[in-house]
Chains A and B, each alone.
Chain A
Amino acid sequence: MTLRAPLTIGPAPHVHAGTSVAWIMLHVVIALIPACVFAVYLFGLAALLTLLVATLSCLAAERLLQRGSAFTLADGSALVTGLIYGLTLPPALPLWMVAMGGFVAMAIGKTLFGGLGSNAFNPALVGRVFLQAAFPAAMTGAWLAPLTAERFVTLPEATLSGPFLAPASGSYDALTGPTPLGDWKFAGGETSTFDLALGFTSGSLGETSALLLLMGGLYLVWVKAANWRIPTAILLTVAICASLLHGIDPQRYPSASFMLLSGGLMLGAWFMATDPVASPLSAPGCWVYGLVIGLLVVLIRLWSGQPEGVMYAILLGNALSPHIDRWTQPRAYGVTGGGP
């Protein structure tokens, strides 16, 4: 007998598809890289520092908060949260706020619910919504004009300001270029589709290049790291609603291309709404979820006091997700009627 090693036993199946949580997260990071690089190119040092601090604060929070349990940084989920969180932020936000939001994202958005797999909401958005509520002025006024000549040399004054020492009021204005959605809502301007698609506009780090985000999203769907039904449902819903409304009153309602390419829709649809933990399980559930988020985006953008609604739309979608799951239970083979 050549057999020397003792036999091990383990439950069937004895083979595996080879995916892992870390594998999924790695692909999300890869898909985000072009948008991150573009944000740095557009806004310079401020963007680089914001992304770095956002990511590091999330990683540090995860390490600190999950101290008792196994080494959870290796699954990559904190890295993904950090990057996505960073991309939702305006480029000239004070870094201490960035760090604080990152900590809140991991502490309240994730750890408090029970860590990986248990969060009810997308943690990155929890961090962002915290900042929005705590520092509304900074969050809506920290826009930078893209491609300024000195963007790699100087930092906006706000970036390095000390905690709770907001820079003198008015200092933002010198830097600000209005975001396309804000411009449309408050000044009636409509940025050209070309600028929106390529991303040479003002806005949050990940709000700018719709094309790069779309490429990243398609990559995610192609490697099957994200459920294609969710972004498809969201974008279709927004496109159809916007086309209908624009057809009715082109003066009042922006075109479908503007709605699709502006703001955080691409980032939200491809990277945040697809967070598996906080989205429904079944295929029909994903369609319903996408439809709900799409409708909410249109509703908030067009009829609320806010220029952008992707963040709230996704958070509300997250909240509905367990209920959608319940309504869209798959019908088991051979079972007629009944169900939970």
Chain B
Amino acid sequence: MAKVIVYPPTSMILSDLVERMGHKALVVPQAVGKLVTANEIDSPPLNVTPEEPKKGLRYAAVDVPSGVRGRMALIGPIIEEAEAAIIVEDPGWLTGCAGCSRTNELVRLLIRTKGVPVLDLSYPTNDPEAVVFVQKIKDFLGGLK
């Protein structure tokens, strides 16, 4: 079972397909869950403590917008954990914690420079493309240990 990071990091379809094939999908909600459901909420309501910006500083400089550093505090440790990655380009509707274009550029860069196997895809727009989409993911995940 390999740990596979998916991009967009909040994707339902990708995380479901990864889990379906018997691997562990690394997604942002897991990182959020650890933070907001911790027994000791040091900084309510979302438990973002001064430690989070420090984590973000490992991936982005201090003059980078705080939103990028805040997002990287969640996504950065996931990237470090990843053993493989599935990247879907041109989603066109990234919102919420995945809605920052500069963070997304940095996330894709860090994944690619990490040196793990990466599968690049586009979201399907019709049935034949969906079959190819699913098959490519199956083949990629099947090749992982």
On whether the two chains bind one another, the answer is: no
Interface set of B (CB-CB < 8 Å, partner A):
none
